[in-house]
Structure 1
């Protein structure tokens, strides 16, 4: 068995998300900031008449905020009926990762990033960190923005 992933970059690191959770990849559009939401919630955008909460994935992972430009895509994901936009630095490719090559991150690590990972796998000459959307969206106060 293998995992089909969309890969993208954040802070010069390679990440992947299950392709079946991706609804679309949008060009950048300015977000409307909302009061009293967590720092990682960049705001909301209009997605064909629907208010879509947008998360700065870099902040969510514990890194500095993304300095957005018109080149930053928004990856729209859906998990358990909830859609979110994720600001990433760039979108790379669709890849297939063999299940046996996926390794679990160190569970004892205090690193913010490893908490959100389903696993790490080699891809060519680099490593891809596979995000777990359930963990990424769990206990998220984003509902305030929805």
Structure 2
């Protein structure tokens, strides 16, 4: 979903999740499925952002960690259940091409539909990287960030891999 799609709609349906202590939400239209963690294969020379691949129903899918581009270093609450971690398989546009990727989530919460008027710009004084965020909104448990997955994945694809 791009900005023009969001502007044409009056509301957006989002899937909320936690990564560390941070609540995030992605458009439900980008989500293909939520799966329990699968065996991961490390890719030699891959960067820290997407160092693994998964076998999702016979398809090799890169697994990315949004902690890297969003600068999330805090592991989050100690009382989070160990088995709450999930992989979210998404469709994302990377430099104009559609790609299937997976992202890690410490916990997936709920599906919410909010009016676009609730989405606010990210304040310039915040530590979050504004280039990677579409905005934020006030959820029931605090602020929820809306990552711009296309911007994140496009930027990360341009970075050189680790040697």
TM-score, normalisation: structure 2: 0.77
Match for residue 24 of structure 1 among 28, 33, 36: 33
What are the within-5 Å matches in structure 2 for residues 1-146 of structure 1? 1-64=10-73, 70-80=83-93, 81-106=98-123, 108=124, 111-141=127-157
Tell whether the 8 Å contact from 1:4 to 1:96 is kept in structure 2 after alignment.
yes
Task: Give 1:110 shift.
Answer: 7.7
The answer for unaligned runs of 5 or more in structure 2 is 1-9, 76-81
Alpha-carbon distance in 1 for matches of 2:71, 2:142? 21
Once structures 1 and 2 are overlaid, which stretch shifts more, 127-136 or 111-120? 111-120
Give the number of equivalent residue pairs.
Answer: 143
Task: Give 1:109 shift.
Answer: 5.0
Q: CA RMSD in A?
A: 2.6
Once structures 1 and 2 are overlaid, which stretch shifts more, 28-37 or 82-91? 28-37
Alpha-carbon distance in 2 for matches of 1:94, 1:102? 16
TM-score, normalisation: structure 1: 0.85
**Residues 14-68 of structure 1: CA distance to partner in whole angstroms, max 9, x if unpaired?**
11000000000010012101111111213000111111000012223222397xx
Tell whether the 8 Å contact from 1:6 to 1:17 is kept in structure 2 after alignment.
yes
Structure 1 pair 141–126 and aligned structure 2 pair: CA distance change class (3 A): same
Q: Which has the larger radius of gyration?
A: 2
Task: Give 1:120 shift.
Answer: 0.6
The answer for unaligned runs of 5 or more in structure 1 is none
Q: Secondary structure at the match of 1:134?
A: helix
Structure 1 pair 51–125 and aligned structure 2 pair: CA distance change class (3 A): closer
Tell whether the 8 Å contact from 1:16 to 1:128 is kept in structure 2 after alignment.
yes
